[in-house]
């Protein structure tokens, strides 16, 4: 394995950058799904306005 890194030293930087990219995408998706869940829960807790009754004639 070290022979591979000796032959291609930029491979370490490429692997590190791919790992950082995947980590960034994971964090963005994780936080975006949390905002969606919070908005959905907030929408569920809104009180439903009572229906207005029409006056009887």
Contact indicator for 12, 5 with CB cutoff of 8 Å: yes
What's the confidence (pLDDT) of residue 44? 65
The DSSP-derived string for 3-42 is HHHHH-THHHHHHHHHHHHHHHHHHHHHHHHHHHHHHHHH
Contacts of residue 4, Cβ cutoff 8 Å, sequence gap at least 6: 11
Q: Judge if pTM exceeds 0.85.
A: no
Per-residue pLDDT tens digits of the chain, which is 57 residues long? 788 888 888 999 999 999 999 999 999 999 998 776 666 666 666 665 667 777 676
């Amino acid at each position: 394995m070290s022979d591979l890194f000796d032959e291609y030293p930029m491979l370490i930087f490429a692997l590190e950058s791919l790992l950082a990219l995947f980590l960034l995408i994971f964090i963005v998706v994780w936080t975006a799904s949390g905002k969606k869940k919070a908005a959905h829960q907030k929408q569920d807790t809104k009180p439903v306005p009572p229906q207005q009754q029409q006056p009887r004639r």
